[in-house]
Amino acid sequence: MNGLITFLEQKVSPMANRIGGQRHMLAIRKGIIATLPLTLVGAFFVIFLNFPIPAVAEMLTPYLTVLDIPYRFTVGVLALYAAFGIASALAQSYKLDTLTAGIVAVMSFLATSIQPVRLFEDVQVTEVQTQVVAAGRYLNIAQLGAQSLFGAIVTAIISVEIYRFMKEKNITIKMPEGVPPEVSNSFAALFPAGANLLLFWGIRHVIGFDINATLSNIIMPMQDFLAGNSLLGGLVTVFLICFFWVLGIHGPAIMGPVIRPFWESSIAENMDAFAAGTPASQMPNMFTEMFLQWFVWIGGAGATFALICLFLTSKSSYLKELGRIGFLPGIFNINEPIIFGAPIVMNPTLAIPFILSPLVMTVIAYVATITNIVPMTVSRTVFTVPSPIGAMMVTNWHIMAAVLVVVNFFVSLVIYYPFFKVFEKQLMESEKEGEK
């Protein structure tokens, strides 16, 4: 076991840190996380669009068109906001003007997203409307949603790299000293903006190559595996996040750049389907981030709330005190005091249930979902909501979601218990030696 720990410390952990700290990976993670407030607000309106109480739903029916607008301009154009956020984060790492980089990235993304729409012959439209649509002066916001998220990532990164390259090669307009920085930055970005526009306009509208559709077709199988309905994909995700935590590395920080675009796309697809009237039991994606957050990460990654409760009953004075310290944060799914305080990091005794428990809970939640005991997730909420309440909120207030949380909690309690007793015994022996 000591050899394994040494191998993880010397070989695996440094490599994982390098991947998680890579400039472009960090920019993707920061940019997508920056859209979180908008998706949370959009999720709030999804509930109104499909209110679980029939009487209230009927009362809201005349206002559904109006209630749909906040959702369409938050979650519905998620990729547009992500393009700005990713470009700004990447530009900041290069010490470029973040505002200019974000605006240029949005322009580049729009140039690849907007396309002329062919009207059906039987649709009655005016000649002016026909000319407007044919000229591409019609913006279909459906092309700016989750399905174009990967296109937004690519265009944002390329646009910033072009901006950086041209600035390093002095292919810019330099203003005299004394000119306000905002004016100087605007002129400095003139050539990069023009180069980006010509590049992405040429690719999409001259050559006719659809970047967004191509990337979606290439990446969709991976999304279906990791954030769709594949049990194996869900287990792989859970295992890797817990495994990195055991190494002392923030699991979501490492997995985030890879898995978060899939998570965002998956929950956005579910929210779109639910807003369109699809029942919560028939959503396109099961393994969204919200599925893991509320049915698996009870108390935080590794389902450590059960361990906290066991600590509170411990004969070890240290573990009992740690349980008291970690109890309140654990209710709100914050478990760093336990992960680093017990510690679980590089601790073989607790690392095993820390990984095993979430894997078992994932299987139980999967079975409960495919048997329609619990519906799929149709909205999102902040991770600090206590688990039973959060689970009901994201499943359109289904009571069985809270029941599943309780069942999984007791399952994790059973799995943690024997390992807790072994660890408790080890600590009590140490405490006795310390007293002597």
Tell me the per-residue pLDDT of 40-98, one tens digit each, with 9 for 90 and over.
Answer: 888 778 777 777 677 877 888 888 888 888 888 888 888 899 999 999 999 999 999 99
Q: Please, which residues have CB within 8 angstroms of residue 12's CB and are 6 or more apart in sequence?
A: 247
pLDDT at position 321 is 92
Side chain identity at residue 147, one-letter code = Q
Judged by average pLDDT, the poorest of 173-177, 278-282, 409-413 is 173-177
- Average per-residue pLDDT in the chain? 84
Q: Which of 307, 297, 300, 215 lies closest to 262 in space, CA to CA?
A: 215
Q: Can you point out the beta strands (E) in 33-112?
A: none
Mean pLDDT of 110-132: 59
CA distance 193 to 180: 20
CA distance 29 to 231: 25
pLDDT at position 347 is 85
CA distance 154 to 111: 13
pLDDT at position 114 is 74
pLDDT at position 19 is 62
Mean pLDDT of 132-145: 66
Burial class (CB in 10 A: 0-12, 13-18, 19+), 306: buried
The rounded radius of gyration (Å) of the Cα atoms in the chain is 25
pLDDT at position 375 is 94
Alpha carbon distances (Å) from 332 to 4, 278, 400:
33, 31, 20
Contact 19, 28 (CB under 8 A): no
Burial class (CB in 10 A: 0-12, 13-18, 19+), 373: middle
Between residues 398 and 142, the one the model is more confident about = 398
pLDDT at position 123 is 46
Most confident by average pLDDT, 102-116, 243-257, 409-423: 409-423
pLDDT at position 216 is 74
pLDDT at position 92 is 94
The alpha carbon dihedral of 253, 261, 242, 331 has a sign of: positive
Most confident by average pLDDT, 216-220, 272-276, 400-404: 400-404
Contact 380, 294 (CB under 8 A): no
pLDDT at position 119 is 44
Most confident by average pLDDT, 40-54, 117-131, 201-215, 252-266: 201-215
CA distance 49 to 43: 10
Using 50, 70 and 90 to split pLDDT, how confident is the model at 436? low
Other CB atoms within a 10 A radius of the CB of residue 104 amount to 28
What is the pTM (predicted TM-score) of this model?
A: 0.76
CA distance 9 to 1: 12
Q: Which of 310, 307, 406 lies closest to 361 in space, CA to CA?
A: 406
Side chain identity at residue 10, one-letter code = Q
Between residues 276 and 376, the one the model is more confident about = 376
| Model confidence pLDDT, tens digit, residues 282-308 | 999 999 999 999 999 999 999 999 999
pLDDT at position 205 is 84
| Model confidence pLDDT, tens digit, residues 330-383 | 999 988 889 888 889 878 889 899 999 999 999 999 999 999 999 999 998 888
Other CB atoms within a 10 A radius of the CB of residue 173 amount to 11
pLDDT at 176 exceeding the cut of 80: no
CA distance 73 to 242: 35
| Model confidence pLDDT, tens digit, residues 15-32 | 656 665 678 888 888 888
